[in-house]
């Protein structure tokens, strides 16, 4: 089995690792540069961004021929997957494939605009273990289920409009607390940050994934009105920065 994942704050990487149980190949989409992948079972584990799949996952599905009789997907999200699985199924259909199984896993929110209260996080993190166990059993048995969507509105485009125009997330800044450690440059999955006299966002293919702002050890990054504080800083407790950086290298 091959499990492809994308992860910014570690939720999806944690799920991918649990599902692999040390046996399946766990492959970072951000570091994958081939145009085909073949296995008896192929999974995609990803975070939901604004009611849909991240652009990097979309590009992966457009550029990679997945050859498998059993393709499944697990979405990690704060509450709702929106159109994510419908989108994946549509993209797979273009290559004559289909999404056989899909499931969502609710975990603390990586988007600081919608932060999950700290006192709710332990319960969420522990509840996901049973859901992941069930997914693991289902995919081992090659169970099929219908592709589903939840919440039709607001649509994906409107949600991104709000993130950009209400919170101003395109306006990414680095303040004087930055010590030029380079973590943001190395954590960015699309090489959108360059180190000059300080880190500079070059705005090339930014996924707005929140990895840089969430992993900055100095809390020196802000996205428009969104700033990191004790309540909004989040990364999955079982995933280390070193693991994220190692897996991100292409």
Ligand X SMILES: Cc1cc2nc3c(=O)[nH]c(=O)nc-3n(C[C@H](O)[C@H](O)[C@H](O)COP(=O)(O)O)c2cc1C
**Token code pair at residue 104:** 């969502």
User: Binding string to ligand SF4 for residues 136 to 175, with x set by CB under 6 A, is what?
Assistant: --------------------------------------x-
Query: For residue 18, what are the contacts with CB-CB under 8 A and spacing of at least 6?
Result: 129, 132, 136
**Token code pair at residue 116:** 């999950």
Cβ-contact 132, 105 below 8 angstroms? yes
Task: Report the partner that residue 109 touches, choosing among ligand X, ligand SF4, none (CB closer than 5 to 8 A by kind).
Answer: ligand X
Residue at token pair 């993190």: 125
Determine, following the binding rule CB under 6 A, whether residue 184 of this chain makes contact with ligand SF4: yes
Task: Report the partner that residue 24 touches, choosing among ligand SF4, ligand X, none (CB closer than 5 to 8 A by kind).
Answer: none
Task: Report the partner that residue 221 touches, choosing among ligand X, ligand SF4, none (CB closer than 5 to 8 A by kind).
Answer: ligand SF4
Determine, following the binding rule CB under 6 A, whether residue 206 of this chain makes contact with ligand SF4: yes
One residue of 102, 109, 186, 213 binding ligand X per CB under 6 A: 109
One residue of 5, 83, 210, 234 binding ligand SF4 per CB under 6 A: 210
Determine, following the binding rule CB under 6 A, whether residue 210 of this chain makes contact with ligand X: yes
Stretch that binds ligand X, among 3-11, 20-28, 180-188, 219-227 (CB under 6 A): 3-11
Determine, following the binding rule CB under 6 A, whether residue 47 of this chain makes contact with ligand X: yes
Cβ-contact 223, 172 below 8 angstroms? yes
Query: For residue 66, what are the contacts with CB-CB under 8 A and spacing of at least 6?
Result: 36, 37, 38, 42, 92, 95, 97
Residues found in the chain = 250
Separation of alpha carbons 17 and 5, rounded Å: 10
The greatest distance separating any two alpha carbons of the chain, rounded to the nearest whole angstrom, comes to: 54
Residues 65-94 that bind ligand X (CB under 6 A): 76-80, 82
Determine, following the binding rule CB under 6 A, whether residue 192 of this chain makes contact with ligand X: no
One residue of 107, 183, 187, 216 binding ligand X per CB under 6 A: 107
Task: Report the partner that residue 107 touches, choosing among ligand SF4, ligand X, none (CB closer than 5 to 8 A by kind).
Answer: ligand X
Separation of alpha carbons 64 and 28, rounded Å: 13
Shortest Cβ 169–ligand X spacing (Å)? 8
Beta-bridge partners for 199: 195
């Amino acid at each position: 089995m091959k499990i492809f994942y994308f992860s910014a704050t570690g939720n999806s990487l944690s799920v991918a690792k649990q599902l692999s149980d040390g046996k399946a190949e766990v492959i970072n989409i951000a570091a994958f540069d081939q145009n085909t992948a073949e296995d008896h079972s192929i999974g995609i584990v990803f975070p939901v961004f604004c009611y849909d799949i991240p652009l990097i996952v979309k590009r992966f599905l457009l550029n990679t021929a997945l050859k498998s009789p059993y393709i499944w997907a697990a979405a990690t999200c704060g509450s709702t997957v929106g159109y994510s699985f419908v989108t994946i199924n549509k993209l797979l259909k273009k290559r004559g494939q289909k999404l056989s199984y899909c499931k969502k896993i609710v975990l603390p929110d990586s988007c600081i605009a919608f932060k999950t209260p700290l006192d709710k996080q332990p319960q969420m993190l522990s509840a996901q273990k049973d859901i992941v166990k069930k997914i693991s059993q289902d995919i081992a048995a090659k169970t099929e289920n219908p592709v589903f969507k939840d919440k039709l509105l607001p649509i994906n485009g409107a949600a991104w409009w709000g993130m950009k125009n209400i919170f101003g997330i395109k306006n990414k800044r680095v303040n004087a607390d930055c010590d030029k450690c380079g973590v943001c440059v190395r954590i960015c999955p699309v090489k959108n940050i360059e180190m000059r006299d300080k880190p500079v966002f070059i705005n090339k293919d930014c996924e707005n994934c929140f990895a840089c702002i969430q992993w900055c050890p100095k809390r020196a990054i802000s996205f428009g009105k969104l700033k990191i504080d004790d309540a909004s800083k989040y990364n999955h407790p079982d995933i280390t920065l070193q693991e994220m950086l190692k897996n991100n290298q292409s």
